[in-house]
């Protein structure tokens, strides 16, 4: 916990040093309790993760690629932030060559997400599956949507609040530029599912 606070403090200072202004619109829209899935765009690697920490007073558990944990510093940060590691399709060949059991790794990630949602945690994800530094949203992966549906199917009383967010950079890699983070209106995954025809659920 102490190391997590250090990571938060250092990362926040770095963000405020590099960007002239980080403006957050919609702060406070994340419910104060209960399971939440933060879903956002990913145009700029680590700054996106750091900026996401300031969307809500609640601590988000990011789902992120396990490939960077070969770096000891990155692994320490992952552990401090309770990141849920997952294997991406693009990393599969390399990881198989290294002897990683991808099926077991991703099953463990799914189990961790299910436990986090059942505990009422905030889980954050970039569904583009990687950094997508272009003006439009990239193709979205469906893995996390399946995790949410699994949580809903586990108990008729279960729900997950989906909170969309977006980061917009004036110039992502230019010192002294501005960053805008917008948190949209959250919505209930259960309420959405209940509107779907039974044969399409």
Q: Which letter does DSSP use for residue 71 in this model?
A: S
**Res 127 pLDDT > 80:** yes
Q: What is the pLDDT of residues 140-198, one digit of tens each?
A: 888 889 999 999 999 989 999 999 999 999 999 999 999 999 999 999 999 999 998 87
**Res 70 pLDDT > 70:** no
Q: What is the mean pLDDT of the chain?
A: 88
Q: How confident is the model at residue 94 (pLDDT cuts 50, 70, 90)?
A: confident
Q: What CA–CA distance (Å, rounded) separates 155 from 174?
A: 48
User: What is the pTM for the complete model shown?
Assistant: 0.90
Q: What pLDDT does 201 receive?
A: 67
Report angle CA 7, 8, 11 to the nearest 5 degrees. Answer: 80
Full domain range(s) for residue 8: 2-200
Give percent of the chain above pLDDT 90: 59
**Res 92 pLDDT > 90:** no
Instruction: Give the CATH number for residue 118.
Output: 3.40.1130.10
- Rounded (10°) angle between helices 102-118 and 143-154: 50
Give DSSP secondary structure letters for 11-64: HHHHHHHHSSEEEEESTT-S-SSS-EEEEE--SSSHHHHHHHTTS-SSPEEEEE
Q: What CA–CA distance (Å, rounded) separates 153 from 147?
A: 10
Q: What pLDDT does 110 receive?
A: 93
Domain count, the chain: 1
Pair 174, 50: CB distance under 8 Å: no
Q: What pLDDT does 5 receive?
A: 84
| Mean pLDDT of the region 66-76 | 70
């Amino acid at each position: 916990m102490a190391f997590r606070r250090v990571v938060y403090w250092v990362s926040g200072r770095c963000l405020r040093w590099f960007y002239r202004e980080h403006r957050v619109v919609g702060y406070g829209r994340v419910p104060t309790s209960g399971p939440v899935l933060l879903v956002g765009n990913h145009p700029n690697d680590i700054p996106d993760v750091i900026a996401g920490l300031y969307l809500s007073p609640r601590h988000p558990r990011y789902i992120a690629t396990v490939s960077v944990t070969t770096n000891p510093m990155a692994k320490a940060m992952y552990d401090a932030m309770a990141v849920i590691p997952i294997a991406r399709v693009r990393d599969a060949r390399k990881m198989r060559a290294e002897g990683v059991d991808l099926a077991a790794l991703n099953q463990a990630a799914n189990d961790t997400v299910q436990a986090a949602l059942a505990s009422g945690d905030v889980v954050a994800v970039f569904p583009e599956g990687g950094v997508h530094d272009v003006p439009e949203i990239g193709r979205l992966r469906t893995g996390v949507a399946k995790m949410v549906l699994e949580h809903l199917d586990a108990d008729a009383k279960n729900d997950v609040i989906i909170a969309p967010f977006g980061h917009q950079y004036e110039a992502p890699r230019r010192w002294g530029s501005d960053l805008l983070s917008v948190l949209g209106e959250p919505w209930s995954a259960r309420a959405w599912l209940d509107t779907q025809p039974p044969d399409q659920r």
